């Protein structure tokens, strides 16, 4: 039954609570106060028997996915049911943040169409996203910002789910509070947030400004700037989900994001509205091949309603968090990584072909001690030089043919793990394939000085931008027309290019909490350019009746077709920019 658990969950369940809580991946989904686990479930058939026999919380999602809350003691009994196919930890996700519209063939001035640009085809010049919905699943949006209100002052946000608020008992997810458009307009009609003597509940503030900035790129209408700083689809409606996050760091997790996607798709499908979902979060955890449950879930969402999912590829390009090598039979190679002072935990994730027979040695910075790791599947524990080494080597699963080694380094008696150069030696006893890929945590999760000494910029796209059916967006500098070195990169074949295209990601001006504007960098800012562009295409096709099938993979195909080349690349598609830079004019159907 252990094969129904993903590797990190198996390892986490085997650890004492004190060790588990030191690592953000292993503690993801675990609530120390209640000792309940929030997990992602893949199932078959009906869950009614399980709901009758267990006192646990189950939130079914679209398809055969669900989010469950369960105590660890009940997990073995749960796994006995044939309806349960797989359980996975909800890994942490980090914001992908480190003047662009005119460079995306939208206009001759920032943030909106200039007169005459699209006059060859008169219907196109009036595209504003009207009739479409843009979903911002992020840190929240400043709902009072004038750019998210119509000329009459009414809110353009048709629904706002704040997952961070106390549950009010009025949604199927058992989390947070959902505000309707009427609720928001009632709040906007008061200056102090009160209605007589009663204080009106309201969405909590966007404390990081990340979601507000992204919403402005997608759909801001420029009211704070007299119409100058408009987003790509300034008349689209907004659906906002403020994702629940860890109070000590800037991230959410897979479970919260999957529920947010489920809510957005259900809400718009019931109202027959075309939907563009923007995801500007990512993680380094996983084989980066589309096999995790969140990636498979996003791929399945295309079959519900008329929607498209756009994701940022992350900022791991030069963060030194990925390394790759090939180890042939009888050969020994080493992978060195530096650990900066002050790190409280670290993991190394290794993925390889299952048929290759390897064994490993891990050398500590003192170079006086090392541990020998057999290559056989299992859970291993070591303690050396005040460092706790915990690892699991997996079997393949029905959803993943590769073998994973997930190695966690924790402090023992001291507060931090030993800084310096660590060496992982890989000895091949027999190799058919020999290729090995390794990842460290995302740059937002550790010191910038931590990283591989011999790093590779390839395959640095973050999960879930590696999902096949989503539109994956890398970043470039529109001022110089050059690829942004920090941007995550992928892999390319003619039929499955990743990323799909690139968009502006450097010095992007957009909305900020409080009613003004700010400049930010990162692929978080690139993805919403494409999200807004998708809304324009869907307005032309679905809302205006020119093509009722213009959603999902068809939107991706048109954006790829219209993408323009950048001067530094001669071959397309390629692992850095996919099919090229976003160009809405050439992507619109003729």
Q: What is the pLDDT of residue 340?
A: 96
Q: Which of 155, 162, 111 is nearest to 136 (CA)?
A: 162
In this prediction, residue 122 has a pLDDT band, given cuts at 50, 70 and 90, of: very low
Q: Does residue 354 carry a pLDDT above 60? A: yes
Q: Which of 120, 124, 108 is nearest to 588 (CA)?
A: 124
Q: What is the pLDDT of residue 251?
A: 79
31 φ, ψ (degrees, to nearest 5): -110, 105
* CA 182, chain centre distance (Å): 30
Q: Does residue 119 carry a pLDDT above 60? A: no
Query: Which tokens go with 120?
Result: 């060859």
pLDDT digits over 439-452, tens only? 999 988 899 999 99
In this prediction, residue 104 has a pLDDT band, given cuts at 50, 70 and 90, of: low
For residue 536, the SS3 value is: helix
Q: Does residue 526 carry a pLDDT above 50? A: yes
Q: Which of 323, 304, 318, 280 is nearest to 472 (CA)?
A: 280
Q: What is the pLDDT of residue 430?
A: 94
Same-domain status, 135 and 256: yes
- Element (DSSP H or E) covering residue 252: strand 251-253
Query: Which tokens go with 494?
Result: 């003619």
Q: What is the pLDDT of residue 166?
A: 94
> Can you tell me the distance from the alpha carbon of 493 to that of 344, in angstroms, rounded to the nearest whole number?
39
Most confident of 60-69, 104-113, 378-387: 60-69
Same-domain status, 272 and 328: no
Q: What is the pLDDT of residue 103?
A: 59
In this prediction, residue 96 has a pLDDT band, given cuts at 50, 70 and 90, of: confident
Quick check: 160 and 143 in contact, CB under 8 A? yes
- Report angle CA 28, 32, 34 to the nearest 5 degrees: 115
Task: Assign residue 409 the CATH number of its domain.
Answer: 2.60.120.1290
Same-domain status, 430 and 397: yes
Give the CA distances from residue 539 to residues 137, 246, 248, 352, 418, in Å, rounded to whole numbers and listed in that order. Answer: 21, 37, 40, 44, 55
Same-domain status, 208 and 271: yes
Location of structure tokens 């928001």: 184
Give the CA distances from residue 228 to residues 223, 233, 477, 518, in Å, rounded to whole numbers and listed in that order. Answer: 8, 14, 21, 14
Q: Does residue 394 carry a pLDDT above 80? A: yes
Query: Which tokens go with 588?
Result: 């619109």
Other residues' Cβ atoms within 10 Å of the Cβ of residue 130: 16
Last residue of a domain, one of 452, 475, 507: 452
Same-domain status, 262 and 152: yes
- Report angle CA 580, 465, 84 to the nearest 5 degrees: 150
Q: What is the pLDDT of residue 522?
A: 95
> Can you tell me the distance from the alpha carbon of 546 to that of 557, in angstroms, rounded to the nearest whole number?
17
Q: What is the pLDDT of residue 590?
A: 74
For residue 494, the SS3 value is: coil
Same-domain status, 326 and 304: no
In this prediction, residue 193 has a pLDDT band, given cuts at 50, 70 and 90, of: low
Mean pLDDT value across residues 561-588: 95
Q: What is the pLDDT of residue 114?
A: 27
Quick check: 542 and 534 in contact, CB under 8 A? no
Instruction: Provide the 8-state DSSP code for 539.
Output: I
Same-domain status, 154 and 48: no
Same-domain status, 311 and 332: no
Q: Does residue 334 carry a pLDDT above 70? A: yes
Mean pLDDT value across residues 297-306: 93
Q: What is the pLDDT of residue 218?
A: 97
Report how many domains make up the chain.
3
> Can you tell me the distance from the alpha carbon of 357 to that of 533, in angstroms, rounded to the nearest whole number?
48
* 129 occurs within a structural domain: yes
* 502 occurs within a structural domain: yes
Q: What is the pLDDT of residue 489?
A: 96
* 9 occurs within a structural domain: yes
Quick check: 352 and 338 in contact, CB under 8 A? no
pLDDT digits over 20-29, tens only? 999 999 999 9
Task: Assign residue 78 the CATH number of its domain.
Answer: 3.30.70
Same-domain status, 282 and 353: no
Q: Which of 457, 462, 428, 430 is nearest to 444 (CA)?
A: 462
Give the mean pLDDT of the chain. Answer: 91
Same-domain status, 148 and 273: yes
Last residue of a domain, one of 420, 452, 484: 452
What residues contact 197, with CB distance under 8 A and at least 6 apart?
none
Quick check: 400 and 358 in contact, CB under 8 A? no
* 197 occurs within a structural domain: yes
* 405 occurs within a structural domain: yes
In this prediction, residue 217 has a pLDDT band, given cuts at 50, 70 and 90, of: very high
Q: What is the pLDDT of residue 190?
A: 82
Same-domain status, 309 and 331: no
* 6 occurs within a structural domain: yes
Same-domain status, 299 and 375: no
Percent of the chain's residues with pLDDT above 70: 92
* 423 occurs within a structural domain: yes
Q: What is the pLDDT of residue 194?
A: 65
Q: Does residue 116 carry a pLDDT above 70? A: no
- Report angle CA 190, 192, 195 to the nearest 5 degrees: 60
Name the residue range of residue 49's domain. 2-89
For residue 43, the SS3 value is: strand
Rg for the chain, CA atoms, rounded: 24
pLDDT digits over 482-514, tens only? 999 999 999 876 667 899 999 999 999 999 999
Query: Which tokens go with 257?
Result: 């994001």
Give the CA distances from residue 428 to residues 352, 375, 376, 434, 505, in Å, rounded to whole numbers and listed in that order. Answer: 11, 10, 13, 8, 41
DSSP-H helix ranges across 236-286 = 254-270
Last residue of a domain, one of 89, 116, 131: 89
Task: Assign residue 294 the CATH number of its domain.
Answer: 3.40.50.200
Dihedral angle of Cα 25, 171, 281, 11, to the nearest 10 degrees: 10
> Can you tell me the distance from the alpha carbon of 471 to that of 313, in angstroms, rounded to the nearest whole number?
10
Span of 101-115, 284-298, 416-430 with lowest mean pLDDT: 101-115
* 97 occurs within a structural domain: no
């Amino acid at each position: 039954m252990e094969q129904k658990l993903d590797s990190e969950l198996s390892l986490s369940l085997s650890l004492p609570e004190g060790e588990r809580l030191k690592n953000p991946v292993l503690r993801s989904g675990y609530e120390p106060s209640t000792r309940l686990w929030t997990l992602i479930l893949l199932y078959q058939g009906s869950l009614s028997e399980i709901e009758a026999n267990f006192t646990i919380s189950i939130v079914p999602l679209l398809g055969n996915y669900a989010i469950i809350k369960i105590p660890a003691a009940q997990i073995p009994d749960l796994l006995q049911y044939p309806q349960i196919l797989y359980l996975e930890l909800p890994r942490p996700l980090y914001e992908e943040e480190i003047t662009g519209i005119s460079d995306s063939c939208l206009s001759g001035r920032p943030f909106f169409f200039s007169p005459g640009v699209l006059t060859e085809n008169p219907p196109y010049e009036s595209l504003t996203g009207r009739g479409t919905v843009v979903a911002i699943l992020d840190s929240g949006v400043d709902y009072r910002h004038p750019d998210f209100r119509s000329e009459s002052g009414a809110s353009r946000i048709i629904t706002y789910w704040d997952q961070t608020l106390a549950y009010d008992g009025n949604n199927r997810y058992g989390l947070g509070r959902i505000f309707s458009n009427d609720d928001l307009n009632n709040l906007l009609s008061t200056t102090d947030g009160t209605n007589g003597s009663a204080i009106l509940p309201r969405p909590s503030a966007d404390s990081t400004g990340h979601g507000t900035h992204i919403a402005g790129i997608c759909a801001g209408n420029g009211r704070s700037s007299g119409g100058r700083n408009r987003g790509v689809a300034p008349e689209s409606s907004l659906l906002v989900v403020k994702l629940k996050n860890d109070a000590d760091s800037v991230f959410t997790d897979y479970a919260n994001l999957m529920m947010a996607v489920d809510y957005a798709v259900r809400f718009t499908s019931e109202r027959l509205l075309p939907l563009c979902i923007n995801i500007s979060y990512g993680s380094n955890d996983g084989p980066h091949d589309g096999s995790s449950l969140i990636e498979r879930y996003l791929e399945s969402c295309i079959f519900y309603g008329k929607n498209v999912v756009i994701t940022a590829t992350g900022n791991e390009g030069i963060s030194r968090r990925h390394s790759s090598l090939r180890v042939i039979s009888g050969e020994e190679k080493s992978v060195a990584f530096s650990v900066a002072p002050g790190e409280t935990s670290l993991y190394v994730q290794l993925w390889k072909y299952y048929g290759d027979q390897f064994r490993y040695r891990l050398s500590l910075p003192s170079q006086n001690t090392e541990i020998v790791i057999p290559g056989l599947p299992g859970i291993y524990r070591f303690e050396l030089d005040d460092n706790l080494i915990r690892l699991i080597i997996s079997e393949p699963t029905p959803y993943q043919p590769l073998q994973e080694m997930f190695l966690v380094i924790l402090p023992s008696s001291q507060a931090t793990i030993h800084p310096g150069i660590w060496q992982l030696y890989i000895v091949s006893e027999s190799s058919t394939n020999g290729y090995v890929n390794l990842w460290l945590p995302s740059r937002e999760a550790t010191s910038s000085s931590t990283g591989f000494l011999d790093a590779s910029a390839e395959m640095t796209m973050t999960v879930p931008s590696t999902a096949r059916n989503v539109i994956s967006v890398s970043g470039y500098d529109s001022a110089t027309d050059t690829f942004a070195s920090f941007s995550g990169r992928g892999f390319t074949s003619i039929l499955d290019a990743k990323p799909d295209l690139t968009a502006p990601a450097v010095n992007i001006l957009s909305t900020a909490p409080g009613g003004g504007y700010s400049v930010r960098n990162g692929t978080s800012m690139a993805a919403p350019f494409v999200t807004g562009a998708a809304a324009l295409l869907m307005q032309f096709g679905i809302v205006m009746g020119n093509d009722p099938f213009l959603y999902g993979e068809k939107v991706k195909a048109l954006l790829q077709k219209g993408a323009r080349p950048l001067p530094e690349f001669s071959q397309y598609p390629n692992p850095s920019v996919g099919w090229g830079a976003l160009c809405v004019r050439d992507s619109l159907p003729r």
